[in-house]
Amino acid sequence: NINNGINEIIYGNPSKEKYKVLVLGDSGIGSKTSFLNVLVKNQFDYNNYGTYEGALSSKKINLNNGKELTIDFWDTPGQEKYRSLIKLFLKDIDCAILGYEVIRKESFENIKTFWMELLKESSDVDLIYLVGNKIDLFEKRVVEENEARKYCEEKNIRYFEISCKDSIGIQELLDDLTNQLTKI
């Protein structure tokens, strides 16, 4: 279950009340819409219908020193025809969460080529995450954790693996994100 209250390990000193995080990556990876549904509504659905505009999911976090912050997560469409929309959304963000699915090589290759390039040319954001989703489908897995980790170490990207379906790794990612945001 995703923690909606006090986080144990977080005691940062946020410089803002609200942080803006953009969630990006190919269509169907699940680490955008499904991830935000689990994070904010604690709900997983096998039948998501695609995303056709920017959609806001806000999450309030209570730090254990009594401080509070809000993370505004913006969901985005993965399809190519929405690229100009994404460029607009890339302005003024505190963090970008890129995602891929570990069962589809192309979704990882597109991170290395297309998505990182788009990010670098349209944003000066320093805090970047890569999230490998669908680790519950381990028999179908084609991108190895080591490969993704190595890439992220080279590029100074924080790496997490998750399953939205089984709610694995999501709380850890949220805690790390909160900690990192309070250091901005």
Choose from ligand GDP, Mg ion, none: what does 28 bind? Cβ within 5-8 Å by kind. Answer: ligand GDP
The CB density around residue 6, as the number of other CB atoms within 10 Å, is 11
Choose one: 53-61, 86-94, 109-117, 131-139; the region binding ligand GDP (CB under 6 A): 131-139
DSSP type of residue 81: G
Identify the residue among 19, 35, 36, 51 touching Mg ion (CB under 5 A).
51
Asked if 14 is part of the footprint of ligand GDP (rule: CB under 6 A), the reply reads: no
Choose one: 11-19, 31-39, 85-93, 120-128; the region binding ligand GDP (CB under 6 A): 31-39
Distance separating alpha carbons of residues 163 and 50, to the nearest angstrom: 18
Asked if 59 is part of the footprint of Mg ion (rule: CB under 5 A), the reply reads: no
Classify residue 136 as exposed, middle or buried by CB count within 10 Å of its CB (0-12, 13-18, 19+).
middle
Asked if 132 is part of the footprint of ligand GDP (rule: CB under 6 A), the reply reads: no
Identify the residue among 14, 24, 34, 102 touching ligand GDP (CB under 6 A).
34
Classify residue 156 as exposed, middle or buried by CB count within 10 Å of its CB (0-12, 13-18, 19+).
exposed
Rg, Å, the chain Cα set:
15
**Shortest spacing between CB 15 and ligand GDP, in angstroms:** 29
